Structure 1
Amino acid sequence: MLAFSISRATPLDDNVLQTILYIKQTFGQDQRSGGTDIVIMNWPIKDGPGANANTIGHAQGLTTHADQAKPFWVTMMDMVFEDGRFAGSSLEVMGLHSSKNVNNGQGQWSVMGGTGQLTMARGVINYNITQEDSASRTFELCIYVHYTPLEATQALCDIDRKP
């Protein structure tokens, strides 16, 4: 027997987040090898490009060099926000990245979900590698996502509990 419930329609508020953040990838720290061509990452997310920028979270996940014939890495990560406006929230991100000398260091990642204040996020992150040397790489992230605030999704649960 198939069972389901239908509740009265409640519009979910759709908000937009447009911001610029930075990820600092330091090859000798904040990441470790997970085997051949796999990197387990915990890269800091910064609110600015300079040395005095605040760490507001971490990009945590995996990146793998799946095709040896191509210079791209497949990246799957959660951008976990620990400080600032979205503390306790995350964005689920996936896409390809390479080095500064491929596509002028530019690319795009998909945002396929979110938690906390960024619930049901969907959108894109256009990135630009602004700095790269033998020790580190800095990504400038232009984030554009639609999301539903946590309060709106909690209200849906309250509707289903009412008699």
Structure 2
Amino acid sequence: MKNIIFSLIFLFFAGISAGEETDHIFGRPIDRKLLGLKKEKLSHFKFYWHDVISGPKPTSIMVVPPVSNTSFNFFGSVTMIDNPLTLGPNLTSKLVGRAQGFYASAAQQDLGFLMLMNLVFVEGKYNGSTLTVLGRNPAMSAVREMPVTGGSGLFRFARGYAQAKTHWLDIKTGDATVEYNVYVFHY
């Protein structure tokens, strides 16, 4: 009788622990339609990124200065940004979003930045959706290409690239306007 009771208790607890394992699945394939994902689209966005360093309301602020003041490229510096994105090249043009994140001088031999920014859109059906850009920006190149690594809202599962081209630069203040062309796959 003891053996039967012991066997039943053992089977009961073995069944519970086996059931617990199946309740906690780490990863599994799912049908993309369950997430509302239909056909993948390719979209192109063109806007202007305004890096305002000077004046009473800068949109870019250096939060970590370079270790060496003699560095021509500010190696080691980190600048936080909340830059306006506009439809046209003038800062007074229609606001379509903001670039929020940072850029850091990450190259010792040239002017190369590590860019990490969320493009937060405020216009039309894209209002509240974001794209994330993470990559190297060799600032002295005529056209720079950086990867789009993801997004949110209408840009879930986004991937693509952004091309940046300096439209205007004030050498004295450091203020700049950069044309961005972003190509992104999304659902």
State if a TM-score over 0.5 links the two structures.
Answer: yes
What TM-score does the superposition give when structure 2 sets the normalisation length?
Answer: 0.70
Q: Deviations over 1:123-148 (max 9, x none)?
A: 01111111111331111111110001
The amino acid that maps onto 2:181 is C
| d(CA) in 1 for partners of 2:102, 2:82 | 9
Runs ≥4 residues deviating over 4 A: 5-9
- Given candidates 14, 27, 31, the residue that maps to 2:53 is 27
**Higher Cα Rg: structure 1 or 2?**
2
Task: Quote the offset at 1:6 in angstroms.
Answer: 5.1
Structure 1 vs Structure 2 CA RMSD: 1.9
- Given candidates 115, 122, 125, the residue that maps to 2:159 is 122
The residue number in structure 2 matching 1:154 is none
What TM-score does the superposition give when structure 1 sets the normalisation length?
Answer: 0.80
Q: When you count helix as a share of all residues, which structure comes out higher?
A: 2
Task: Quote the offset at 1:51 in angstroms.
Answer: 4.5
The residue number in structure 2 matching 1:137 is 176
Residues 24-103 of structure 1 aligned to structure 2 (within 5 Å): 24-28=50-54, 29-36=58-65, 37-99=77-139, 102-103=140-141
The amino acid that maps onto 2:122 is E
| d(CA) in 1 for partners of 2:182, 2:113 | 20
Unaligned regions of 5+ residues in structure 2, if any? 1-20, 66-76
Q: When you count strand as a share of all residues, which structure comes out higher?
A: 1
Task: Quote the offset at 1:67 in angstroms.
Answer: 2.5
Q: Which has the higher contact order (CA 8 A, sep 6+)?
A: 1
The amino acid that maps onto 1:58 is R
The amino acid that maps onto 2:164 is Y
The amino acid that maps onto 1:61 is G
Secondary structure of residue in 1 paired with 2:128: coil
Give the share of equivalent positions with the same residue, in percent.
21
Unaligned regions of 5+ residues in structure 1, if any? 149-163
1:111 counterpart = 2:148: yes
Q: How many residues are treated as equivalent by the alignment?
A: 145
